[in-house]
């Protein structure tokens, strides 16, 4: 089923007006409305969590701590990279918005190994990865989160229909959910080891 293009444009304009009204709230979180050309809306999300470095303490260290212990430090001025969130509102809101992730400088779609990670806590306070590397239809990284087209069109979520959430959803609420799982809860951590270094993404549970 396709939505009348006139109705689709009216809904797009309504969502854009809501975003403009809530611009201060968004920008306080590092979410900046970049461009809006029907039927697309672009945001840049700027993380603020500093990079954490974890340095192993060895027996040869001059620091008097047990071997195997670790020292943790935050590195001022270094944080996760900013990224562009490109929302496609074609056929909205009969269909949920589509989302892909792009380089804010080149507008190229980001490869999974170039990206942040996103995690969400379930009812048992267990963190789950919600940024996945390969959607079966688009073959691009996708956010596995309710309110996103790629989530609702995934075969594993065929019973979790968008129409169950449509009435209470908006682009404003969706972009805040994106910020929550990809920026607010996430800390990049650099593990320094004798044979090299590794970056991991850890989640901080919040109410």
Domain ranges in the chain?
A: 5-203
pLDDT value at 86 more than 60: yes
pTM: 0.87
- In this prediction, residues 17-36 reach a mean pLDDT of 97
pLDDT value at 21 more than 60: yes
Encode pLDDT of 93-122 as tens digits.
999 999 999 999 999 999 999 899 999 987
φ, ψ for residue 96 (rounded to 5)?
-70, 165
Encode pLDDT of 139-162 as tens digits.
999 999 999 999 999 999 988 999
- In this prediction, residues 180-205 reach a mean pLDDT of 84
What pLDDT is attached to residue 195? 76
Encode pLDDT of 119-143 as tens digits.
998 777 888 899 999 999 999 999 9
Q: Which helix (H) or strand (E) holds 115?
A: none
């Amino acid at each position: 089923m396709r939505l009348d293009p006139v109705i689709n444009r009216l809904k797009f304009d309504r969502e854009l007006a809501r975003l403009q009204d809530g611009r201060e709230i968004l920008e306080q979180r590092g979410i900046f409305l970049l461009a809006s050309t029907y039927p697309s809306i672009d945001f840049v999300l700027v993380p603020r969590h500093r990079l954490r470095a974890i340095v192993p303490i060895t027996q040869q260290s001059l620091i008097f701590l047990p071997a195997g212990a670790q020292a943790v430090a935050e590195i001022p001025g270094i944080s996760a990279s900013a990224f562009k969130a490109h929302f496609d509102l074609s056929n909205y809101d009969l269909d949920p918005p589509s989302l892909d992730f792009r380089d804010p400088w080149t507008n190229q779609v980001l490869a999974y190994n170039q990206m942040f990670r996103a995690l969400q806590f379930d009812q048992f306070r267990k963190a789950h990865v919600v940024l996945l590397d390969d959607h079966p239809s688009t073959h691009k990284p996708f956010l596995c989160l309710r309110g996103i087209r790629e989530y609702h069109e995934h075969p594993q979520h065929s019973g979790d229909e968008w129409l169950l959430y449509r009435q209470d959803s908006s682009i404003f609420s969706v972009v805040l959910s994106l910020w929550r799982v990809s920026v607010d809860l996430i800390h990049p951590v650099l593990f320094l080891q004798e044979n090299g270094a590794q970056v991991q993404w850890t989640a901080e549970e919040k109410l």
